[in-house]
Structure 1
Amino acid sequence: MPTLQNSKPYPESTALLAHHASSPPLEHSMTLKPSQIQAILQAKQEDFTRFDQRSLTLLMQYRSALMNLVERSSQLLDSPQQLMLSIGDYGATPLESWAGTNHGVLPCNLKWNSREQSLIWVQKKLAGVTTFAVDGSQIFPGKDLSIPVALVQIGWFENPHSKSGEYEKDIDVDVMTPSDLKASNSGEPVDRRVNFRRLEMEIDRLVQYIEAHAQDVAQGKSYLVFFDGSLLATFAKDFEFKLRQGYVGCFV
């Protein structure tokens, strides 16, 4: 995949990188006092304890919900209609049957004596299957430029896994202006909008690809699409309303 670290969209970038490279490392310009850090950590120990307890409580809730799920019958879990009647809107559909699982674990029963054997297995499974993956990177606005500007780039890789070995790689780029960033002097974080734009471009490209090959899929051709990220945007729950709605729009 192409990366932004190797690109130089502006002449100023070279000078800025040279400046940072010549700056002395933190450990050479500042002396840390371990005793002072230890005293601060001890004084704030209660904060860490509370955080750990909240995390443990959440973990126990997840474990309890999982056990409640696996105790249900496979007939119920394999029927979306029955599952809806039983627990309401469950948010997702099981991809595989629960019949024969061990507490929700479905063993693959695959064993190889060497890495070469595993690669041969993968090659057989993917032969004739076209895979498509998208990933992105970004350059956030910096304080070195008076005008807020950001760069977002996505790259994709399509591999038909044919005998010819042909594949396709390409990129798409967007430059975010102050208007796109909705930057102001209020100090609101603009990095969130850059991250969202990257995700938006990644998903848009995946959707374009899926729609473009819908007829091929209907005719029996096999495709496998990869998205490098979470489809549950729980991280956005504390964002401003419009940005939260943007994430919902991407995933729904």
Structure 2
Amino acid sequence: MPLYDRELVSKLEDQAEDFKVPEERKQSVREYRDAFDNVSSNYSKEEVQEALSEDEFPGALPTDEFDKVSGFSVDFDQSWSSHEEVNVWAVDVLEDRVMIAADGSQIEPIDEFDQPVGLAQAVWLINRHKRGKDYTRDVDMEVLTPEDLLYKDPNTGYVQVDEQEVSVSRFELEMKVLCERIEEYAKVC
């Protein structure tokens, strides 16, 4: 079925008010920004890392730039006048650097059959950024069986499909293939 651009734009314009950011969310963003500004103005990279050292999963940690700039971003002082210049710059920056990526997709449980079945897959890519398109692409796939998808609801006693299982399996598969590829290349590099 085609997407009718004009009709979509018209509908979105008609509903523009529905997409305005509520004031309380704007306030939350301001509070986070103020907290970040406070941390970046009053603490060093080492002090932040020390404060978070007890946390098993602290999230993002400050990089070397943390002590060199203030605020959310580091200015990017490159500019180009053509795509060719961009490509030359990118080759210079990326050449011989290995990049690993994964992206998953899924098919939710199909229950039209006697037994439900689902699918999670993760396509992964390793780009070595060498001249001559030196990259590897493959897919890992997991078929989810009734044993994976069904559970007995303790409140009702009914056996039903777990609506979260396919999404969780997809995420776990994406993380598994990333970890495997990173470990593989950590030994090589």
The answer to whether the superposition gives a TM-score over 0.5 is: yes
Secondary structure of the residue aligned to 1:98 is helix
AA partner of residue 83 (structure 1): V
Which deviations, in whole Å up to 9, do the C-alpha atoms of 1:115-173 show, x marking residues without a partner?
22112211111111122211111000135334221011111112222223232111111
Secondary structure of the residue aligned to 2:176 is helix
Contact 1:148 1:177 in 2 (8 A): yes
Secondary structure of the residue aligned to 2:124 is strand
Q: Which of 180, 198, 202 is matched with 2:170 structurally?
A: 198
Q: Which stretches of structure 1, 4 residues or more, deviate above 6 A after TM superposition? A: none
**Counterparts of 1:53 and 1:101 in 2: how far apart (Å)?**
30
Equivalent in the alignment of 1:69:
39
Pairs within 5 Å for 1:1-252: 52-73=22-43, 76-77=44-45, 79=46, 82-85=47-50, 91=58, 92-184=60-152, 190-217=162-189
Deviation at 1:84, TM superposition (A): 4.8
Query: How large is the Cα RMSD of the aligned pairs?
Result: 3.2
User: Which runs of 5 or more structure 2 residues have no equivalent in the other structure?
Assistant: 2-17
**Counterparts of 1:203 and 1:178 in 2: how far apart (Å)?**
23
Which deviations, in whole Å up to 9, do the C-alpha atoms of 1:165-205 show, x marking residues without a partner?
23211111111012112345759773321111111111111
Structure 1 length-normalised TM: 0.56
Number of aligned residue pairs:
167
Going by fraction, where is strand more abundant, 1 or 2? 2
Secondary structure of the residue aligned to 2:109 is coil
Identity of aligned residues (%): 25
Contact 2:100 2:182 in 1 (8 A): no
Highest relative contact order (Cα 8 Å, sep 6+), 1 or 2?
A: 1
Contact 2:107 2:120 in 1 (8 A): yes
Contact 1:101 1:107 in 2 (8 A): no
Structure 2 length-normalised TM: 0.73
